[in-house]
Structure 1
Amino acid sequence: MSDTILESEGLELTEAAAGRIKEQLSKRGHGLGLRLGVRKSGCSGYMYTMDYADEIGEDDDVFEGHGAKVVVQHKHMQVLGGTTVDFRSEGLNRMFRFDNPRARNACGCGESFMI
């Protein structure tokens, strides 16, 4: 497990995203943070995956910001490195958003992207 990733290779967590993670963990009653990953899918190649992180494995990288944690399997960092995780409210929609500098050619539905 690596807790010291260079900022340019790591993840940044906005205050809004950290607040949402803490809120969801509080409602759930347990968990260490958000588990973020990617999988091959969609019309453009990759899509983001999210779940609760209940444990930290040897192959996980841990990023902390504003009192919340994001856990990512190290193998996903080649796609996720440099990403800013945000949480936004847009009209009636409330969602996590990912500003990934490696993402190119997002599909029209916004669910998948290429690198």
Structure 2
Amino acid sequence: MKKYFLKPEKKKFIGIFITSKALNKILKIYKKKKNIIGIKINIKKTGCAGFKYTMKYCEKKKKSEISFSNYNISIFLPKKKIKLLDGLIIDFINKNFHKNFEFYHKNSKKKCGCGESFNIKKT
């Protein structure tokens, strides 16, 4: 699986890695949603395992976010959760009737049975 690197705005961060399938899907989203400048990714407490990744359209960058950009796309992460999200790998799965973004991170562990939520390793 080939991964593309999204550069952080500050060199002290690892960056985000994105597969070609996820890159193509995000580029299609950009074409449909003309007013967005990127995608916001966050985690929230929910589900049986503890946390879930969330994605939203971004129309304006906030001071409380860090941007990761390359290949004509930008991903925005909240500064408060950067340790949990920096180094994230994003993929897009298209299997039968199931189409969604999948996220992989070294600090993620123990997904629930349905795969919707995960727990976080203590660092």
| Uncovered stretches (5+) of structure 2, i.e. residues with no partner | 1-7
The CA distance in 2 between the partners of 1:16 and 1:67, in whole Å, is 15
- How big is the shift at 1:60? 0.8
Alignment of 1:1-80 (within 5 A): 3-6=9-12, 9-80=14-85
Deviations 1:27-75 (A, max 9, x none): 1222011110000111111111110011111121111233211111111
Higher relative contact order (CA 8 A, sep 6+): 1
Match of 2:92 in 1: 87
2:99 is the counterpart of 1:110:
no
Q: What number of residue pairs does the alignment pair up?
A: 113
Structure 1 unaligned spans of 5+? none
Q: CA deviation at 1:5?
A: 4.1
The answer to which structure has the higher strand fraction is 2
Structure 2 residue matching 1:4: 3-state secondary structure: coil
RMSD: 1.7
More deviation, 30-39/57-66: 57-66
Of all paired residues, the percent bearing the same amino acid is 27
User: How high is the TM-score relative to the length of structure 1?
Assistant: 0.87
